């Protein structure tokens, strides 16, 4: 069979068809796949199995590869002693608010920059993208000063969910991601909507958003994971035990709690994000790889 002249590969088809070439190719592929699998799965395996070990077993050197005497009671102790139900509810509440705020405000900003094209729109987008070059740690102090004394209104937002929601709204990466997707939507659809008398808001609601479900799903996942994994900012702005997130709550109890119970709590805290990814992984991949729409 003749090879397609337009196909370019690292190894030619003729080399793959040879006995030694095929063996070398599949051996290298298997080694690379296994190596990367161990790198990514190894810490998860250690966390899950460590939560089933006793305190003495998890502290021994060298560590055991599997629990010799599994103790599922560690998960029950973690759920009850660390009040994980309350911590998970708080985190889910903050994540839900972050998703709603970002979907509304970031989508509106991206739509205006992409389709409405305001004056100095490119300059505004450039300044927004420039903020991605600023390390997140540098912004901690000015953000905290803003939270404890909100300008104009002079409100203290400590222990308020708005202390988490408002900084997440100004997400330059998500706005840029949404704008690039909106740019791929044909202008003919916009022109046809305007001819029919649709307002810009009506066009956004009836045409743009239904076509943008994949990228909106990606932004939602980013918002959820940003809240779920964040530690430093919630620790600063949520000092009360009643308003802690799950990561801050586990850290607060870690000092006087056995390590195996803390690891079990970490496993429980990680389950929701893993489940969300497994459910929406197809939407995530399609949203990130969609580059154009055919008219």
Cβ pair 219, 169 in contact under 8 A:
no
Cβ pair 237, 141 in contact under 8 A:
no
pLDDT digits (tens, 9 = 90+) for 29-41: 889 999 988 888 8
d(CA 229, CA 226): 6
Q: Which residue has the higher pLDDT, 274 or 292?
A: 274
pTM for the structure as a whole: 0.81
The sign of the dihedral angle between the CA atoms of 172, 173, 175, 180 is: positive
Weakest mean pLDDT among 209-223, 241-255, 269-283: 269-283
243 CB neighbour count, 10 Å cutoff? 21
Q: Which residues of 181-196 are buried (b: 16+ CB within 10 A; e: fewer)?
A: bbeebeeeebeebeee
Q: What is the pLDDT of residue 290?
A: 58
d(CA 216, CA 203): 17
d(CA 185, CA 208): 8
Cα 56 to Cα 59, 81, 115, 267, distances in angstroms: 5, 20, 62, 19
Weakest mean pLDDT among 11-15, 107-111, 250-254, 274-278: 11-15
Half-sphere exposure (Cβ direction) of 35: Cα atoms closer than 13 Å:
6
Q: Which residue has the higher pLDDT, 13 or 132?
A: 132
pLDDT at 5 over 70: no
> Which stretches of 51-139 are DSSP H helices?
55-59, 73-81, 84-101, 107-111, 121-130
d(CA 174, CA 212): 13
Please name the residue that has the structure tokens 């779920």: 228
**120 three-state secondary structure:** coil
DSSP at 157: -
User: Both tokens of residue 119?
Assistant: 């004056």
Task: Give rounded-to-5 percent helix, strand, coil for the chain.
Answer: 75, 0, 25
pLDDT digits (tens, 9 = 90+) for 167-222: 888 788 999 989 988 888 888 888 888 888 888 888 888 888 888 888 888 888 88
Among candidates 92, 41, 46, 51, which has minimal Cα distance to 72?
Answer: 51
**162 three-state secondary structure:** helix
- Provide the residue count of the chain: 295
User: Both tokens of residue 123?
Assistant: 């300059």
What mean pLDDT comes out for the span 261-268? Answer: 91
135 CB neighbour count, 10 Å cutoff? 7
User: Both tokens of residue 157?
Assistant: 């937002």
**Percent of the chain at pLDDT above 90?**
26
pLDDT digits (tens, 9 = 90+) for 92-143: 999 999 999 999 999 999 999 988 888 888 898 889 889 889 888 888 999 9
Give, rounded to a whole angstrom, the gap between the first and last alpha carbons of the chain. Answer: 36
């Amino acid at each position: 069979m003749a090879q397609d002249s337009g196909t370019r590969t690292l190894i030619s088809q003729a080399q793959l068809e040879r006995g030694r070439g095929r063996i070398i190719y599949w051996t290298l592929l298997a080694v690379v796949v296994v190596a990367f699998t161990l790198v990514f799965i190894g810490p998860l395996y250690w966390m899950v199995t460590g939560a089933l070990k006793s305190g003495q077993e998890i502290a021994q050197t060298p560590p055991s590869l599997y629990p010799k005497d599994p103790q599922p009671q560690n998960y029950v102790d973690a759920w009850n002693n660390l009040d994980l139900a309350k911590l998970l509810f708080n985190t889910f509440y903050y994540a839900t608010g972050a998703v709603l705020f970002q979907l509304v405000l970031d989508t509106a900003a991206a739509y205006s920059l992409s389709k409405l094209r305001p004056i100095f729109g490119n300059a505004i987008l450039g300044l927004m993208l420039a903020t991605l070059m600023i390390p997140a740690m540098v912004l901690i102090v000015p953000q905290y000063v803003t939270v404890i004394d909100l300008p104009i209104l002079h409100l203290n937002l400590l222990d308020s969910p708005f202390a988490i929601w408002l900084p997440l709204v100004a997400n330059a990466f998500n706005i840029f991601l949404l704008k690039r997707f909106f740019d791929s939507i044909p202008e003919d659809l916009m022109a046809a909507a305007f001819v029919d008398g649709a307002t810009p808001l009506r066009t956004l609601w009836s045409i743009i958003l239904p076509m943008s479900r994949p990228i909106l799903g990606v932004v939602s996942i980013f918002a959820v994971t940003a809240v779920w994994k964040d530690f430093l900012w919630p620790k600063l702005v949520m000092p009360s035990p009643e308003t802690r997130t799950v990561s801050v709550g586990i850290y607060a109890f870690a000092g006087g709690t056995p390590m195996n119970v803390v690891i079990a709590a970490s496993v429980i805290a990680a389950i929701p994000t893993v489940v969300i990814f497994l459910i929406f992984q197809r939407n995530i991949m399609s949203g990130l790889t969609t580059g154009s729409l055919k008219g």
